[in-house]
Structure 1
Amino acid sequence: MRTLFSTAALHPRDAFERWKEALIDQGMPVEQQRLDDTPFKAKLTVARVGPLVMTSLAQGAMRTEATPSLIRRCADQERVDVLIKIAGVSRRIQEGRESVQRPGDLVVYDRRPSTRISCADSQTLVLALPRKRLESLLGPTRLYASLTIGADLASTRLATSFITNLIRLRDQILPDVATRMAGIGTDLIMASIAERLAKEVPRPLHGTVVVQRAKAHVEANLGDPALDPPQLAAATGVSLRRLQELFHARGQHISEYIWHRRLEAAGERLTDPGNAHLPIGTLAFNCGFSSQAHFSKRFKAQFGLAPREYRHEALMKVPSAGRAGPDLGLARPEAIGAPPRR
């Protein structure tokens, strides 16, 4: 990861003040108070894979407070931060909810007033995700902000392992693969949040959460041609009949929802200049279609154009200077000093 700030070369007298300034410069609207008198050490590093920016913060024992004034001045409300605890233990308090995070746990920070207390030698990995994407599948962030997504869940272990390996192998990933890898990592995180959320909510909201979990599973498995209503019900932990009832109550059919999301994903990839070299059949297969003829028929029924025509029309509108790849809104690298895409 690329180092943005380190106290290693600073005089101990100046280190803490410079650290606080560095956090504000990186768009992290917090006030900090030290909890011990040992020589202060901290480090801020960043890595990028496609549009996904991941920032690592290592620091000593600290009380961190996100105040209303700093949030109004510095926070980007279009993004939500997902924090992966790498080392140490933290306690977070937000709107009456108190939770503890240990190594391997996830927690969502949604840019509202909160307090966090971290032990010495704490390290946290911060992923900036688009609020709109999370809330479209999981509901308002207030339902799961500051809720510990524990490492005891298999989905959490899978998500954190994928992200840490993504950082480790980022230099070996080709640019046109990086966007897909970033999307997979985001989907795994959302699936983990959905699984944890299902354990938390009151019974009247359970149906909504089951549907949200099902949709998160669809997003994470769009490329699996075997994904169908029975498999989705099994993965969600309810009977097929119950899942059908829940989707019908929301005016949807399970199978049509799966095909609709596959087609939308295919449409996004067809308009991505970074995928312009890929055959349409390959894109269709990666979105879960086993037959290009079936894909073409469904695609034209939904979008009014054949896939080839749709791609040609979209790419003709892209300025030549902007053909390096799409901005998926996961983060604005210039805002946090991220390195250019390799």
Structure 2
Amino acid sequence: MSSLEQATVTPTRSRLQAGSSSELRAENFSDWISLVGNRFGQLSLSTNVPRFYGSLRSTHVDETCITEISACAHRVRRVASQIEPTDAKFLKLSLLLEGRGFVAQDGRSAVLRPGDLAIYDTSRPYTFEFEDNVHVLLMVFPHHMVGMSADLLHQVTAVAIAGDRGIGKVISPFMEHLGANLDLLQGINGIRVMHSALDLITALLSSELARKKPEGDTRRAHTEKLRLYIESNLSDPDLSTARVAAAHFMSVRYLQYLFKEQGQTVSGYIRERRLERCRMDLLDPAFATQPIHLIAARWGLLDGAYFSKKFKAAYGESARQYRLRNRHDAA
């Protein structure tokens, strides 16, 4: 795209912020830069459309942002010089509703047509180009909200995932309904819906990984079965690497090898999923009067000091501070 207008956009906010789903409009490219510049990290934007216009609606649910965008043809690039090691790490899932798109990251590229989905990572360079007028739904969420390692996620970035077959046939209309009902995604019900969406996205990406694996390679299937077992037994305080291995009649060493292939440890994965479940309960009004140590114990974390230390390391504040802050934000 030969650019008539281009700019590098530096966000005025370093993290996703709460907001409404009110529509915001841009009548020219400079206005569009101002709108996009408050979102999702430093970007370079360009267009060859002399009379550019665009609009967006977005809402924030927990740590996730959903944005519906309609705009003229333009290009979005995130280059290496714009990425700092301290930048928050987000994933972007796009659903193309109208138009034609092109996405590139990690040495791969894909053409997107209406109904197609694609995922890409803000912590590494990428390009997303819309060749004509476009209508797209964008979901942005932190890495930790998906139960997959970064190594696995890097294998499915910039891949066109068809929305008319397989699990994509479930995800695509589900996301489209989310976009059409942004105003309804409020409070704990919105958080629950969003976490269901993230579970579906994890299933979609796992399916894509399985499709890419050579025929006869069973390690991926083994690992998915192990993850499901762990997820189903997080409340068991005795859940451990040895317990998981014994339940699946394999050695601890082989179990550790399967997770190491994906850049994780078994104990680290168990801890991450338990902490995420605790974080969800801290947001839930149904547990507002339940002591924090009982919430932690509910998910197998019986040592209060250990839980407090790991929660703060994972989320940057104590569980008590997290609960109080989100209670005030909700009010």
Using structure 2 for the length normalisation, give the TM-score: 0.65
2:158 counterpart SS class: coil
C-alpha distance in 2 between matches for 1:162 and 1:219: 26
Whether 1:250 aligns to 2:255 is yes
Whether 1:103 aligns to 2:114 is yes
The structure 1 residue matched to 2:320, chosen from 318, 328, 331, is 318
* Distance change >3 Å, CA 70–CA 123, structure 1 → 2: farther
The structure 2 residue matched to 1:129, chosen from 135, 141, 147, is 141
Deviation at 1:199, TM superposition (A): 1.2
Corresponding residue number in structure 2 for 1:58: 70
* Distance change >3 Å, CA 215–CA 158, structure 1 → 2: farther
Corresponding residue number in structure 2 for 1:81: 92
The structure 1 residue matched to 2:38, chosen from 25, 29, 32, is 25
Q: Are the counterparts in 2 of residues 51 and 182 from structure 1 also a CA contact under 8 Å?
A: no
C-alpha distance in 2 between matches for 1:161 and 1:221: 27
Report the AA paired with residue 177 of structure 2. Answer: N
Corresponding residue number in structure 1 for 2:204: 192
Using structure 1 for the length normalisation, give the TM-score: 0.63
C-alpha distance in 1 between matches for 2:131 and 2:230: 36
RMSD across aligned C-alpha pairs, in angstroms? 4.6
Measured against aligned partners, the alpha-carbon deviations of 1:197-224 in whole angstroms (never above 9, x if no partner) come to: 11113469x44432454467679999xx
Larger relative contact order (Cα-Cα within 8 Å, sequence gap ≥ 6): 1
* Distance change >3 Å, CA 92–CA 215, structure 1 → 2: farther
Deviation at 1:159, TM superposition (A): 2.0
Whether 1:92 aligns to 2:103 is yes
Structure 1, unmatched stretches of 5+, are: 223-242, 281-295, 306-315, 327-339
Corresponding residue number in structure 2 for 1:6: 25
Identity %: 16
Deviation at 1:193, TM superposition (A): 1.0
Q: Are the counterparts in 2 of residues 3 and 43 from structure 1 also a CA contact under 8 Å?
A: no
C-alpha distance in 2 between matches for 1:212 and 1:47: 34
Deviation at 1:183, TM superposition (A): 0.7
Corresponding residue number in structure 2 for 1:285: none
Measured against aligned partners, the alpha-carbon deviations of 1:23-82 in whole angstroms (never above 9, x if no partner) come to: 223234332332444x21111221233443111222212233222223349x94421111
* Distance change >3 Å, CA 114–CA 266, structure 1 → 2: closer
Report the AA paired with residue 6 of structure 1. Answer: R
Deviation at 1:188, TM superposition (A): 0.4
C-alpha distance in 1 between matches for 2:322 and 2:274: 26
Deviation at 1:135, TM superposition (A): 6.3
The structure 1 residue matched to 2:29, chosen from 4, 16, 23, is 16
C-alpha distance in 1 between matches for 2:24 and 2:199: 30
Report the structure, 1 or 2, having the larger helix content: 1
Q: Are the counterparts in 2 of residues 66 and 113 from structure 1 also a CA contact under 8 Å?
A: yes
C-alpha distance in 2 between matches for 1:219 and 1:146: 29
Deviation at 1:19, TM superposition (A): 1.4
Figure out how many residues of one structure are paired with residues of the other and give that number.
277
Measured against aligned partners, the alpha-carbon deviations of 1:231-281 in whole angstroms (never above 9, x if no partner) come to: xxxxxxxxxxxx8769983159xxx99x9999777655554452326999x
Q: How does 1:160-175 map to 2 (within 5 A)?
A: 160-172=172-184, 175=187
Measured against aligned partners, the alpha-carbon deviations of 1:74-93 in whole angstroms (never above 9, x if no partner) come to: x9442111112121111122
C-alpha distance in 2 between matches for 1:161 and 1:272: 27
C-alpha distance in 2 between matches for 1:93 and 1:304: 45
C-alpha distance in 2 between matches for 1:277 and 1:300: 14
Deviation at 1:165, TM superposition (A): 2.5
2:195 counterpart SS class: helix
Structure 2, unmatched stretches of 5+, are: 1-19, 234-247, 258-265, 304-317
